[in-house]
Amino acid sequence: MASADEIRAGLASILEEVADVNVADVTDDKSFTDDLDVDSLSMVEVAMAAEEKFGVKIPDDELPKLKTVGDAVSYIQSNA
């Protein structure tokens, strides 16, 4: 089971790859849309990469609920 720190670091590297996000900007309080400029289609790519990396299922109807990095970290932690 990955720790919150490991999940956050994993998400950061996915975000860097998919949406050119600076790794240092990936903190729990950051909003994907407003702070990191990750649009709805990039969120799908992030979700697909996270599914593969963490062995978790993130359906499209969950995506709107994952507003911040912290939301995604806790979703992955409780569903992996």
Judged by beta carbon, residue 42 or residue 68, the one nearer other proteins is 42
Answer yes or no: are the C-beta atoms of 47 and 63 closer than 8 Å. Answer: yes
Please give the backbone phi and psi of residue 68, each rounded to the nearest 5 degrees, phi first.
-120, 165
Shortest distance (Å) from residue 1 CB to other proteins: 26
Shortest distance (Å) from residue 33 CB to other proteins: 13
Residues ≥6 apart with Cβ < 8 Å to 19: 36, 37, 38, 42, 45, 46
Judged by beta carbon, residue 25 or residue 45, the one nearer other proteins is 45
Q: Give me the residues that bind other proteins (CB under 8 A), please.
A: 39-41, 43-45, 47-48, 60, 63
Judged by beta carbon, residue 8 or residue 42, the one nearer other proteins is 42
Answer yes or no: are the C-beta atoms of 46 and 62 closer than 8 Å. Answer: no
